[in-house]
Amino acid sequence: MPAYHSAFNAEGQVAACTCALLPFKGSKSYPAVDGLDGEDIIDEVLRIFRAQVFFRNFEFKGAADRTSCYLVTFVSKCISECKRHKTKAEADKALFQLGNKDFSIPGDVGFVLGAFVHEPESKAEADQFKQYFKEARQEVCQRVTAKLYLEDGTQNKHWFCFEKRKFMNLNNNN
C-alpha cells in the first residue's frame, strides 16, 4: 500500500529545517498565493490523515512531505486532546490553548520528527520554523473540530477511533 505523498512537493520551495513553508488559507505571515482557492496543505493533511496514520514507514519525496508528516502527528495530538471533551464547544476551547502552547523544534529534545528533519542552521531559521508551525498548528486547531464533531456537536466516532494510532510509531508529546 503506497503512502500518500503531498501534492505540494516541488523544487525550490521556501523551507526551514528541511520542512516546506507552504502558504495556507488563514495565514497572516505566509499569505495565500494566487490560485490557493482550492486545497492547501492543511486541507490535504485533514483529507489524508485517516489513511496516512496507518503507515509505519514513510519515504519522504520532498520538503512538503515533512511538513505534512509533522501536521499529521499534530492532528493525532488534537484528537487525543479532544477525546476528553464531549462537545465541540469544549474542544474548541481546549484546542485554542493547545494551538497557542509552546512546542519543540528540530534540535530540541522531544521533537517528534527529530530523525527526519535537520536542525536549524541559524537563530533566524529556528525562528522562521517556529513562527510558521505555530500558525499552522493554530489553523489545524481551528479546522479539525469540524471533522471531529458532528453538526449536533457530538463526537464523530469515525475520527475518534484513530486516537490510539501513531503515524510511523511517533508519539507527539509536543
The model's pLDDT over 125-170, given as tens digits with 9 standing for 90+, comes to 999 999 999 999 999 999 999 999 999 989 999 999 988 877 776 6
Fold of domain 15-169 = Arp2/3 complex 21 kDa subunit ARPC3 (1.10.1760)
Please check the confidence at residue 174 and state whether its pLDDT lies above 80.
no
What is the C-alpha separation between 30 and 117, in angstroms, rounded? 21
Q: What is the mean pLDDT of the chain?
A: 88
pLDDT at residue number 1: 40
C-alpha pair distances (Å), 136 with each of 26, 151, 157: 9, 24, 25
Detail the DSSP E strand segments found in the chain.
Answer: 15-16, 19-20
What is the C-alpha separation between 25 and 68, in angstroms, rounded? 15
Instruction: Answer whether 10's CB lies under 8 Å from 64's CB.
Output: yes
Instruction: Answer whether 113's CB lies under 8 Å from 47's CB.
Output: no
Instruction: Answer whether 159's CB lies under 8 Å from 147's CB.
Output: yes
